Amino acid sequence: MAQKKILKALEGQTLDVPPVWMMRQAGRYLPEYRATRAKAGDFLSLCYSPEWATEVTLQPIRRFGFDAAILFADILLIPQALGLDLWFVQGEGPRLSTIETNKDLQKLGKIESIHTTLSPVYETVSRLSKALPDDVTLIGFAGAPWTVATYMIAGRGTPDQGPAHNLMQTNTSVFEGLMERIVDATALYLIEQIKAGAEVIKIFDSWAGSLSPDDFNKYSKQPTEEIIRRVHKECGSVPIICFPKGANQAGYESFANMNGVSCLALGQDMDTDWAAKNLQSKVCLQGNLDPSHMVNGGTALVDAVNNICDSLANGPHIFNLGHGITPDADPNNVQLMIDTVRARSNR
Ligand code: CP3
């Protein structure tokens, strides 16, 4: 049986005190992150430097003692490894060259060549697995095909994922060809992360909520299921956390019934009482504090943490935010969140 708290929860154990980590826990709200990023030059140089990426992954572990570390990288490294240009515009976000036609699709490199670009990431995972304290779990990750495709089609973040929906409808074969390539690349990428030492994998489908029920099944659930099948075939039963962000209750139920899913991450929009009742007997639940509490703090934060923990106390639960922590968050509020979680006892 697993010894680390996160792995116990992922095995389905209900723990006295839920383990805790945070999406984007290595990020701009931390002065030590900003200092390392300045040394590395820019965000992508940081992602591709095993030395600096290891350092920033470890910073929140040192400062707060979280129960898990998440590899420092980005879901958009896969499009870059497939041959798209990628850059980040300060204060605005990512920009990529786009996939719109069959010709664009044919220009993408061979799937196996992604390892040339991504090998520094595997090196980071390997360094982390040696450097982390014994009780801290190392989480690797990738974006889900739909979310990654939305960026590859639009060339940037979009409020409604309009360009990806348009391509899906007007040129389904290009859209599906792209999805297939992302599935292939993502499975290979995750398998290498596990071989390098990742103990758990998280798959981020940040834009799952914009899909209609049929499209959700076809383009969020099925591709994710196929990636998990390939990963488990190659690596055995590594725990998988899925985050179909913004999906409705039927969508979450279909993920909970999927083969090979250990845990579902909940956005802050998800009703935890409903989730406890309908999902927690099948999977561990992770979440789901509104990240705005990390800016505002105070008794509202403490009450919200306790409400979430109360509501998810009768099954496996990993405490987390409902989305990534924002740059304007106060590290003291992160400490208050952890202290509040750890002061609890379910029994
Ligand atoms: O959680 C972690 O700490 C692990 C590392 C991680 C990052 N991005 C680092 C990052 C993870 C797991 C991601 C996932 C990611 N990246 C997602 C899915 C999760 C989500 O947030 O919905 C998406 C959609 C992206 C794409 C992306 N990366 C965007 C849209 C942006 C710009 C927005 C922003 O916050 O600046 C990024 C940049 C990014 N990725 C930063 C970090 C720490 C900020 C980079 C910086 O300026 O230092």
Cα-to-centroid distance, 22 and ligand 1 (Å): 13
**Residue range 5-346, CATH number:** 3.20.20.210
2 pLDDT tier (thresholds 50, 70, 90): confident
Binning pLDDT at 50, 70 and 90, where does residue 109 land?
confident
CA atoms within 13 Å, Cβ hemisphere of 65 = 9
Q: Single out the residue of 85, 324, 49, 79 nearest to residue 186, CA to CA.
A: 79
Calculate what percentage of the chain has a pLDDT beyond 70: 99
pLDDT above 60: residue 347: no
Q: Can 151 be counted among the known catalytic residues? A: yes
AA letter at 171: N
Residue 1, pLDDT > 80, answer no
The domain locations on the chain are 5-346
Among candidate residues 29, 48, 151, 189, the one labeled active-site is: 151
The CA 95 to ligand 1 mean position distance, Å, reads 13
What pLDDT sits at residue 131?
Answer: 98
How far apart are alpha carbons 68 and 302 in whole angstroms? Answer: 21
What integer pLDDT is reported at residue 346 of this predicted model? 60
Active site residue 48: no
**What pLDDT, on a 0 to 100 scale, did the predictor assign at position 314?**
96
User: SS3 letters for 33-88?
Assistant: HHHHHHHHCCHHHHHCCHHHHHHHHHHHHHHHCCCEEECCCCCCHHHHHCCCCEEE
The secondary element (H helix, E strand) that includes residue 147 is helix 145-154
For residue 200 the two structure tokens come to 């758990």
Amino acid at 247: A
Active-site entry in 37, 122, 184, 290: 37
Q: Which of 21, 39, 75 to mutate to test the pocket of ligand 1 (most atoms within 8 A of CB)?
A: 75
| % of the chain exceeding 90 in pLDDT | 97
Asked about 347 being catalytic, the answer comes back as no
Sheet architecture: strand order including 284-289: 68-70, 137-143, 200-205, 240-244, 263-265, 284-289, 317-321
Is residue 289 within 8 Å of residue 234, measured between CB atoms? no
**Mean pLDDT along residues 303-310:** 98
Q: What confidence tens digit (pLDDT) does each residue in 243-284 have?
A: 999 999 999 999 999 999 999 999 999 999 999 999 999 999
For residue range 42-100, what is the model confidence (pLDDT) as tens digits? 999 999 999 999 999 999 999 999 999 999 999 999 999 999 999 999 889 999 999 99
Query: Closest ligand 1 atom, CA of 243?
Result: 19
What is the predicted pLDDT for the residue at 137? Answer: 98
Active site residue 230: no
Quick: pLDDT tens for 118-168. 999 999 999 999 999 999 999 999 999 999 999 999 999 999 999 999 999
Mean pLDDT of 229-253: 98
pLDDT at 236 over 80: yes
As a whole number of angstroms, the distance between CA 125 and CA 15 comes to 27
Nearest one of 132, 112, 162, 155 to 70, comparing CA atoms:
132
Quick check: 110 pLDDT over 80?
yes
Residue 316 Cα, ligand 1 centroid: separation in angstroms? 27
| 210: pLDDT strictly greater than 70 | yes
List all residues whose CB is within 6 A of at least one atom of ligand 1: 23-28, 37, 43, 70, 72-76, 93-94, 141, 143, 157, 204, 206, 324
Residues 6+ apart with CB under 8 A from 90: none
How far is it, in rounded angstroms, from Cα 289 to Cα 266? 9
